[in-house]
Amino acid sequence: MWTLSDASGFSPHTDSPTFAGTPFSQGTVYDVAANPGLGSLLNVRQNLQILADSINANAQDADGQPVWNASLQGYRLVLRPLFGDKNSDATATLVSDGAYDLGADAQFFDPTPSTANVLSYSLGTTGSGDFQGPGMNGTPGGIPSSQDYQAAFNGIDRDVDIFNLLILPRAAGQSDPQREALWGLASNFCLNRRAFLLVDPRSTWETVNDVDSEITQLRNGVVKDHAAIYWPRVQIPNIGGGLRTIDPSGSMAGVMARTDSNRGVWKAPAGLEADLRGVRALEHSMSDPENGIINPEAVNAIRSFPTGIVSWGARTMDGSNDNANADYRYVPVRRIALFIEESLFRGLKFAVFEPNDEPLWAQIRLAAGAFMNNLFRQGAFQGQKARDAYFVKVDSETTTQNDINLGIVNVVVGFAPLRPAEFVIITLQQMAGQVQT
């Protein structure tokens, strides 16, 4: 007979549950030839399992919830309390009696407090164990400074081989002026890494008039042809229910990555197929005339249509109508130029330390020409013929003797980019006095 009891104050036991177990010595005993009086241990584990099963089946509180868990570890019976909020120093005792009374050997629990071999810590902010004190709330730290971001950029330079899109998620408590101090730093970093920055709008913009009157301030200090801005902010499901408003750059980065994969970097990340997945609503809606106010200012709209919430603009921050430099007005034109530049920079490294003469120039023309022709065949450029779509020039005109003396080979690549159609103009003519059949 085995009796499991616990006199501690947090135990649910009011009575000592009793379990009938088969004595360890009962069953088949195999004699050992060297010592006929010594019983075999073959049945000990089986009998311990019977005892463990009995405990697990019967050790329950008044509500039928288990209060002990019994298991085997080798030839050891392990009892774990499942009640209370303590994780150590249980005062339970296991008492045996009858013909197979084990006496003090049945005391499976050390009655003295122990600070070692604890199974687990209590969950929550506090614990009641002898060596688990109340928890301390963590701190999120301060708002990242410009020095913190510069240190992060330096780390990217060292550890990240290549990237082409950069966003700066808003830190908790970070204000609009604090974020705007970062756009120039981040865009210069993108300039050096042939990447593109997605700038977030001010959280205070509520109407297109706010955007129109303040966008010039936001552009100050930014490498504008390496950046784009989208408005309004978007709303996504909140974990606790309802919606929460976030900046749009993360969603737009997803749209760009998907467009790059499905259509190519030369396709504008805008239009009905450029839906912002995971976005449930917009912070502010706008009409077509209102869209016509911010688009000439190179602020890309995010619109809600019956087909979904989509990107409805494709201009860089250098693409305002009053800017005379229209080469990189559009996001896909700027990004395909960066893509070509980075690809050729990596693909032509075979030329480093080669003799700087016509045989090398011919190899470069062949390699660069093959790359550009592949893009042409995919529809990345204007023109029906390759000679109208791109050119590659590497010769004595691009690389002078002085360049050769300095160890420089100059590769000139030109292409005719595809520009997105922002407006579709339809002309209707009514034939007066005639009946259509």
What is the reported pLDDT for 38? 45
Whether the per-residue pLDDT at 133 is higher than 70: the answer is: no
CA angle 414, 418, 423 (to 5 degrees): 150
CA angle 121, 122, 123 (to 5 degrees): 115
Helices (H), 194-323: 208-219, 249-262, 288-294
Q: Which has more pLDDT, 4 or 366?
A: 366
Two tokens at 311? 């990107």
Q: What number is the average pLDDT over the span 339-346?
A: 94
Counting every residue written for the chain, the total comes to 437
User: Which pLDDT band, with edges at 50, 70 and 90, does 58 fall under?
Assistant: confident
What is the reported pLDDT for 172? 86
Q: What number is the average pLDDT over the span 368-394?
A: 94
Segment among 1-5, 283-287, 391-395 with least mean pLDDT? 1-5
Whether the per-residue pLDDT at 104 is higher than 80: the answer is: no
Q: Which has more pLDDT, 380 or 95?
A: 380
234-237/281-282 β-pairing: antiparallel
Can you tell me the distance from the alpha carbon of 412 to that of 395, in angstroms, rounded to the nearest whole number?
Answer: 10
Two tokens at 293? 């106010």
What is the reported pLDDT for 32? 37
Q: What number is the average pLDDT over the span 205-220?
A: 95
What is the reported pLDDT for 386? 93
Q: What is the 3-state secondary structure of 176-211?
A: HHHHHHHHHHHHHHHHHHCCEEEECCCCCCCCHHHH
Q: What number is the average pLDDT over the span 70-90?
A: 68
User: Which pLDDT band, with edges at 50, 70 and 90, does 370 fall under?
Assistant: very high
What is the reported pLDDT for 46? 80
Q: What is the pLDDT of residues 395-433, one digit of tens each?
A: 999 999 999 999 999 999 999 998 887 666 666 666 665
**Do the beta carbons of residue 308 and residue 170 sit within 8 Å?**
no
Q: What number is the average pLDDT over the span 155-181?
A: 95
Average per-residue pLDDT for the chain: 81
Q: What number is the average pLDDT over the span 183-193?
A: 97
What is the reported pLDDT for 13? 42
Question: Is this structure's pTM higher than 0.75?
Answer: no
Segment among 19-28, 211-220, 320-329, 364-373 with least mean pLDDT? 19-28
Q: Which has more pLDDT, 199 or 118?
A: 199
Whether the per-residue pLDDT at 368 is higher than 80: the answer is: yes
What is the reported pLDDT for 54? 80
User: Which pLDDT band, with edges at 50, 70 and 90, does 268 fall under?
Assistant: very high
165-166/196-199 β-pairing: parallel
Q: What is the pLDDT of residues 231-241, one digit of tens each?
A: 999 999 998 88
Nearest to 266 by CA among 422, 386, 162, 419: 419
What is the reported pLDDT for 74? 82
Can you tell me the distance from the alpha carbon of 374 to that of 368, in angstroms, rounded to the nearest whole number?
Answer: 10
Whether the per-residue pLDDT at 111 is higher than 90: the answer is: no
CA angle 274, 278, 280 (to 5 degrees): 95
Q: What number is the average pLDDT over the span 196-214?
A: 96
